[in-house]
Amino acid sequence: MIWRCAALLLSLASLSACSIGTRLTYQNLDTLVRVEVGSYVDLDPTQDALLERDFDQLWRWHRRDELPAYALALRRTADLAEQGVLDRPAIDAIAQTIRAAVERIAERALPGLASLLASLDEAQVGELLESQQNELDEELESFEDETAAESLQRLTDEFEERIENWIGKLTPAQRVYLTRRMAEADARGEFADARLKAEADIDQRAFAALLATRKQAGFAARVQALAFPQDAVSETERSHRRERGRTFFTALAATFTARQRSHFVKRLRNYADDASALAAKAVVTPLSTP
């Protein structure tokens, strides 16, 4: 729930669909967070003030410390792309930069999340869990009539659209490569409805069990552990996914046409300009208004 709101800070700073939209959305993040949280649970005035205080602190830190770093990283990536040197070491460095940024946001956001969750009463916990279950059910139902082939095609089309947002239209050869890699992922069972539902059910039960301990000592540490599991199985799976993702993008970058490279460089520099412009403006929220 709220960690998704914190993740908006990273995604909207550098990965949104258009330059103007990025700035407008970032400037209204406080409203978006309230809407996001309100879609899951109704907070009382004290809890609402707690959320506003914690998010205000997170937002100010992010604008002051993170956005300038994003701008620098985006411009460095643009320079590498322009020079045609998006090789595996470069891709690894970019991925590590993104991962470190996510971890810094989590480190800042999760204590506030834990405090807010700990303040929920039994009725609010029930509302939150029911809202999440309803959201999951609706998502699964929207695709329940798809055949396996249709599901794979939809996911492939969605991934292609995200890639083309960054580099422009794929070439026929790139489209064949994407289709093959998606088919390989499907064969590993990564897109299987039964597996996704089972994983979602496990996550939902784990979250319910976590909330049941919200009044007990060590709750904040348990929130951190649920958000970023450190067990060997989870870490191995994450490592394999990272490896496959980096291999895919390294191979794709090696096939960029001149037009795609230009499109990618322009997009990166536009987002870098967004980050710099947003970093230069003060955050104004009701709590910070005189």
Rounded alpha-carbon distances, angstroms, from residue 250 to 45, 82, 90, 151, 274: 49, 15, 9, 26, 26
CA distances from 199 to 126, 191, 238, 248 (A): 21, 11, 14, 25
Instruction: Kindly list the distances between the CA atom of residue 12 and the CA atoms of 9, 17, 19, 268, 279, in Å, as whole numbers in the listed order.
Output: 6, 9, 10, 13, 13
Name the burial class of residue 51, with classes exposed (0-12), middle (13-18) and buried (19+) by CB atoms within 10 angstroms of its CB.
buried
Residue 24 confidence (pLDDT):
76
Q: What is the pLDDT along the chain (290 residues), one digit of tens a residue?
A: 444 544 444 444 443 334 446 777 778 878 878 888 888 899 999 999 998 998 889 889 988 998 999 899 999 999 999 999 999 999 999 999 988 888 888 888 889 889 999 999 999 999 999 998 898 888 888 887 889 899 999 999 999 999 999 999 999 999 999 999 999 999 988 888 778 788 888 888 999 999 999 999 999 999 988 887 777 667 788 888 899 999 999 999 999 999 999 999 999 999 899 889 988 886 665 544 43
In angstroms, the CA 247 to CA 241 distance is 10
Q: Is 68 helix (H, G, I), strand (E, B) or coil?
A: helix
- Nearest residue to 37 via CA among 121, 113, 106, 107: 113
**37's tokens:** 């949280």
Half-sphere exposure in the Cβ direction for 262 (13 Å, CA): 3
CA distance 127 to 284: 31
Please give the model's pTM, rounded to 2 decimal places: 0.84
